[in-house]
Structure 1
Amino acid sequence: MSTRITTPFSATSTAAEVVQGVDLTGRRAVVTGGASGIGVETARALAGAGAEVTLAVRDTAAGDRTAADVTATTGNKAVHVARLDLADQDSVAAFTAAWDGPLDILVNNAGIMASPLMRTPQGWEMQFATNHLGHFALARGLHGALAAAGKARVVSVSSSAHLRSPVVFDDIHFATREYEPWAAYGQSKTANVLFAVEGTRRWAGDGITVNAVMPGAIRTNLQRYVSDEELDRLRAQMGGGDFLWKTPEQGASTSVLLATSPLLDGIGGRYFEDCAEAEPATGGSRRGVAAYALDPAAAQRLWEVTEQTLAG
């Protein structure tokens, strides 16, 4: 059994704190969804440590504003913006085709949460298409750039919502089962963890490690489909008083830790929360990681199903 990874950091640590003392000069990073929520603070911490950072965003005007803000606060002028719509495979292909040179850090941070039923033109359920299929295609398309960097790291931003559902291979896209927004979101977040497991298995030989992260509860644009009443209900479900909102700076800390810390050299295929590797989930808790999310057989199956889907 592998030893559980712990660090000196905690739930209240900020992205700036975990990256302190790390020099990313000469390193290149891509952050999807880098213009809002924890993506902004992830990008700021990486840029603050000297990395060249590309914000991969749907709204390039928002990206430009964020890039200017990050440059103003860090003094790092190497903050770029590129358009990326993860739900559009042509957009993903255009992004990866335009990328030139090595890539040291890929933070798959963007996502949609608990949306009404929407489908891509291919008929794919939108949360799975965006949160998993888009990021899978992005990482695969950038594989050569990641391999060229040596010791590249991919961060797959998951959620405690993965505890709501495994990947339902018999009906991933809700063709026959009734659509439920949280089940769909949970399934996509489980897929983010399984991607880390199989991505590390397949790519470790290229020097690429992939880990998944639960950032914590942060009130951001991610919850645009979730009402305040729904959030209150969820909070009550999760123990009410024990439930703490994080600031975006705290929410970005585990992503930045996985992307940069020497404590994670060579570590992959794991799920982290509050700046440490998660314990196995226990019944009823919203903490920890589900066994099905780390299952190597499910991870391999998802990879193969995803490749078939994208080849469609």
Structure 2
Amino acid sequence: MSESSLITTPFHSESTASDVVAGINLAGRRAVVTGATSGIGLETARALAEAGAEVTLAVRNLNAGKLAAEDIAVTTGNPLVKVMPLNLTDRSSIASFVASWRGPLHILINNAGIMATPETRTPEGWELQFATNHLGHFALATGLHDALAAADGARVVSVSSAGHLRSPVVFDDIHFLRRPYDPFLAYGQSKTANILFAVEASKRWINEGITANALMPGGVRTPGVDRIQITPEQIEKLNETRTGYPEIIWKTPQQGAATSALLATSPLLNGIGGRYFENCNEVGPRVGETQSGLASYAMDPDAADELWNVSMEWINS
């Protein structure tokens, strides 16, 4: 992809989600945001409600979800904020969410995620980060396909990370059954999967008016980041691989939510999918060893197709 074809916007790393939705009217539109009780998800949901959308917070903790919904309604003046239970590692929970949804869905924000967790497996034997960050959202999005198709121009937003630069999807051993478990490689391949999903969803669903794009929100000290359990050996390994990288510039949650809000609402993205954004602008391939840009394997159409087929097989097994 040439630099001249990249989508640019007036927004930047310090823009907030409120900045991005200013002047945008989402009245009559319906949105779902996963992981919306705190951090980036909460502020993404707030921005969509601020623009007039009916927003459903899809959350594991209903009490936290209700508090978040009340906060959003009060701060935006929009009472159309709902809460529904969703556990992305429980296929029955996802199925219940999908079965209870009625009518069109205009915006789906696949925001929830976990990072660098100790080696843990779901009852199916799936590695927890891949199961949560990719497979759960894949099951949700494909389950809601008909609702998205009914919206006439639906958008799916896939929250990835610069962490995807650490690893492609290792199809020979996705769940670390034969190789030593590394929490950051596991996280990296799950974030690559988020991008590959956007590539393939856009390819398969574009004729139904559904587009999907992926993004890097930036460094935000969310509760999930603060809970990372990391050993001294892993810190040393991270420092080695970060040689030459700039120090992380931490964003506020409102700034971290800006790119998600942009992909969900901007007229510049009408009919455009399968792309990757940072700081509210599309980025091209990674250059050198920078901590920015897109790994070529994250846009590989063959890998995107294979991931889709493998994921569909697993969630229906």
Bin the TM-score by the shorter chain: over 0.9
Alignment match, 1:300:
305
Asked if 2 retains the 8 angstrom alpha-carbon contact of 1:7 and 1:276, the reply is yes
2:112 is equivalent to residue 110 of structure 1 = yes
1:25 to 2, 27, 30: 27
CA–CA distance in 1 between the matches of 2:303 and 2:32?
28
> Which letter does structure 2 place at the counterpart of 1:86?
L
Asked if 2 retains the 8 angstrom alpha-carbon contact of 1:198 and 1:269, the reply is yes
1:278 offset after TM fit, Å? 1.1
Asked if 2 retains the 8 angstrom alpha-carbon contact of 1:238 and 1:286, the reply is no
2:248 is equivalent to residue 243 of structure 1 = yes
2:195 is equivalent to residue 190 of structure 1 = no
2:266 to 261, 278, 301: 261
CA–CA distance in 1 between the matches of 2:204 and 2:47?
29
Alignment match, 1:6:
8
2:159 to 157, 160, 176: 157
Asked if 2 retains the 8 angstrom alpha-carbon contact of 1:13 and 1:250, the reply is yes
DSSP-derived class of the 2:69 partner: helix
1:140-174: CA deviations, max 9, x gaps?
A: 01000000000000000000000000000000001
CA–CA distance in 1 between the matches of 2:243 and 2:111?
24
1:273 to 270, 278, 283: 278
CA–CA distance in 2 between the matches of 1:16 and 1:227?
34
2:141 to 123, 139, 142: 139
Asked if 2 retains the 8 angstrom alpha-carbon contact of 1:28 and 1:105, the reply is yes
CA–CA distance in 2 between the matches of 1:231 and 1:199?
35
CA–CA distance in 1 between the matches of 2:229 and 2:36?
21
1:239 offset after TM fit, Å? 5.2
Count of aligned residue pairs for this structure pair: 312
TM-score by length of 1: 0.96
1:169-216: CA deviations, max 9, x gaps?
A: 000001111100000000000000000000000000110000001000
1:42–1:231 CA distance, 2 compared to 1 (3 A): farther
Using the aligned pairs only, state the percent identity. Answer: 62
Alignment match, 1:89:
91
DSSP-derived class of the 2:57 partner: strand
2:190 is equivalent to residue 172 of structure 1 = no
Asked if 2 retains the 8 angstrom alpha-carbon contact of 1:112 and 1:222, the reply is yes
1:227–1:37 CA distance, 2 compared to 1 (3 A): farther
Quote the RMSD (CA, aligned, Å): 1.7
Alignment match, 2:41:
39
Question: Larger deviation: 38-47 or 237-246?
Answer: 237-246
CA–CA distance in 2 between the matches of 1:33 and 1:164?
24
TM-score by length of 2: 0.95
> Which letter does structure 2 place at the counterpart of 1:225?
I
Asked if 1 retains the 8 angstrom alpha-carbon contact of 2:49 and 2:78, the reply is yes
1:226 offset after TM fit, Å? 3.9
Asked if 2 retains the 8 angstrom alpha-carbon contact of 1:235 and 1:243, the reply is no
1:102-128: CA deviations, max 9, x gaps?
A: 000000000010000110000000000
1:31-50: CA deviations, max 9, x gaps?
A: 00011110010000000000
> Which letter does structure 2 place at the counterpart of 1:294?
M
DSSP-derived class of the 2:220 partner: coil
DSSP-derived class of the 1:190 partner: helix
CA–CA distance in 2 between the matches of 1:209 and 1:255?
14
Alignment match, 2:130:
128
1:69–1:165 CA distance, 2 compared to 1 (3 A): same
Asked if 1 retains the 8 angstrom alpha-carbon contact of 2:31 and 2:56, the reply is yes
CA–CA distance in 2 between the matches of 1:221 and 1:75?
26
2:289 to 284, 287, 290: 284
DSSP-derived class of the 2:206 partner: helix
Asked if 2 retains the 8 angstrom alpha-carbon contact of 1:238 and 1:285, the reply is no
Asked if 1 retains the 8 angstrom alpha-carbon contact of 2:244 and 2:289, the reply is no
1:15 to 17, 31, 34: 17
1:261–1:284 CA distance, 2 compared to 1 (3 A): same
1:240 offset after TM fit, Å? 6.8
1:311 offset after TM fit, Å? 1.9
